[in-house]
């Protein structure tokens, strides 16, 4: 297992007010993303535990693209990865942010 951590500044705060959301499952080629609204509005953190070791450079790229695209300000994302491909990771990160931005009636 390998642990990776990334800290970014985001352009703006993620929308909505839900405190947490979770998507995905930990399985081969899949991952779960737990997202919590616990940081100052301009900060974003990602903590990743992955079964596939030695892919730090790829994670760094995927995470940077994600922060640029989604601007997840105020969010801490915790990832348990079962060896997902970068496109699956990008999809799950986007789903997690969409879910926490959803408005509850």
Give yes or no for residue 22 binding other proteins (CB under 8 A).
yes
Residues 28-87 that bind other proteins (CB under 8 A): 30, 32, 34, 36, 49-51, 78, 80-82
CA distance 90 to 65: 9
What's the min distance (Å) between Cβ of 14 and other proteins?
Answer: 17
Which of 8, 15, 18, 20 binds other proteins (CB under 8 A)? It is: 20
H, E, C per residue of 3-31: EEEEEEECCCECCCCCCEEEEECCCCCCE
Angle CA 35–39–40, to nearest 5 = 140
Taking the complex as a whole, the smallest distance from the CB of residue 7 to other proteins amounts, in Å, to 20
Comparing CB distances to other proteins, the nearer of 68 and 102 is 102
Measured N-to-C along each axis, helices 56-70 and 86-101 cross at an angle, to the nearest 10 degrees, of: 30
> Applying CB under 8 A, which residues contact other proteins?
1, 20, 22, 25-27, 30, 32, 34, 36, 49-51, 78, 80-82, 104-105
């Amino acid at each position: 297992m390998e642990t990776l951590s990334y800290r970014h500044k985001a352009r703006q705060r993620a929308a909505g007010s839900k405190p947490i959301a979770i998507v995905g499952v930990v399985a081969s080629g899949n991952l779960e993303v737990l997202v919590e609204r616990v940081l100052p509005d301009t900060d974003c953190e990602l903590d990743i535990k992955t079964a596939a070791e030695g892919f730090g450079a790829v994670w760094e790229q995927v995470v940077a693209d994600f922060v640029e695209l989604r601007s997840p300000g105020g969010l801490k994302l915790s990832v348990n990865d079962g060896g997902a491909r970068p496109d699956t990771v990008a999809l799950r990160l986007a789903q997690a942010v969409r879910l926490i931005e959803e408005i509850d009636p």
